[in-house]
Homo-oligomer: A and B are copies of this chain.
Amino acid sequence: MNWNPRFAQRTALMRRSTIRELLKLAAQPGIISFAAGLPPAEFFPVEEFRAATEAVLRSRPERALQYGETGGEAELRDWIAERASQPDRPMRRENVLITTGSQQALDLVGRVFLDPGDVVLVENPTYLAALTAWRPCGVEFAPLAMDEGGLLIGELDRADAPPAKLLYSVPNFQNPTGVTLQAGRRRQLVAWSRATGIPLVEDNPYGELRYEGEALPHLLDLDREGPGIGEEAGQVIHLGTFSKTLAPGLRVGWVVAPRPVIDKLTLAKQSMDLHTSTLCQHVALELARDGVLERHLPRLRAVCGGRRDVMLRALKEHMPSGVTWNRPEGGMFLFLRLPESINATTLLTAALTHGVAFVPGEDFHATGGGHNTLRLNFTGNSDERIGEGIRRLAATLAEAV
């Protein structure tokens, strides 16, 4: 049977993600892949996972294996609410929804907020899988220019900008650029959101992975500084995850937001997967509440920060002139800008024959551009492989220039 005429119209708007396809390449022996955003698997706290799973299955097997509430396990929501609270502004369980990774949170936001024709403001470039999640809703993306301090606030008030439904930002160590939104701009962004009534979606997968400098306030926290902001009010939909701090295989993320938003997101999630794995939620809870997470983070930061430095040194040593990159203060990614004459997608084919992979930057640009940019993950390979991979990349570039 010919299935094509049976598919829905929105299915034509679904695009295959380059990153996910490249994950398959990353598995091929001989390829050093800087493509996927993989945390360092050899530093997963495996023993702690075993102890936590054992504890969960001993102490509460009937809860951890049974159906649960759509919103998530109460104790985990409480733990997240407490961490999101400030002395003058407590957050409650009702402000938290547990999601199947923060990718599901992005999908939920699309499902609950976005109608065909809606405009979504995004950093340019931005996280690819936010674009792929929201594109089938029939939305238009309005890309906002960035510099080394994050999105340019002046961009928000462009006369030609149509009224937007949402603004999406990754303020800390952005994917794909590694750029961090400056503190002053964060305040301006929240003020703009209040003035215009356009909600902010703050995606924070990497916030805990800071290797230098001081942590900056979340948009969520700044939002609560204003008058009359309570658990019912507020402008910010904040997304978090255990994927980068404990393990992606858990698929446990969360949303912190005003209650009316959490209520609608929960309603949408109910028919999407009933709830996130109770087993995974309880294992995450055990690790978080027991202090394992807090003890694990310094080690993880040391490893990932060290790998960033190795990659920065290797780039400095091997890259030909005309190639530039940034020094991210945290996270998992570096962004390279090649000479205008080089197309990164074409380069990728050559790079694979040299045994190295990356993600071309073009797909992260919502409305095109960035043909000469590429994203490198620095956390998923050992120091030695990072050095070798950058040598291979440099050799590929030397041929291409």
Contact = CB atoms under 8 A, between A and B. Distances in A.
A355 to B, nearest CB: 21
Contact of A248 (B67, B234, B243): B67
Interface stretch (A50-58, A85-93, A144-152, A332-340): A50-58
A356 interface: no
B247 A275 contact: no
A68 interface: yes
A106 B50 CA distance: 33
Interface stretch (A8-16, A302-310, A316-324): A8-16
A272 interface: yes
A279 B67 CA distance: 17
Interface of A: 1, 3-4, 6-11, 14-17, 20, 23-24, 36, 38-39, 41-42, 44, 46, 49-50, 53-54, 57-58, 61-62, 64-70, 100-101, 103-104, 106-107, 111-115, 118, 129, 132-133, 136-137, 165, 197, 199, 233-235, 243, 247-251, 258, 260-261, 264, 267-268, 270-280, 283
Given A17-B271, A100-B273, A272-B272, 20 more contacts: A6-B199, A7-B112, A8-B112, A8-B113, A8-B137, A11-B268, A15-B267, A39-B66, A41-B65, A44-B62, A44-B65, A44-B66, A53-B57, A65-B248, A65-B249, A100-B100, A100-B276, A133-B271, A277-B280, A280-B280
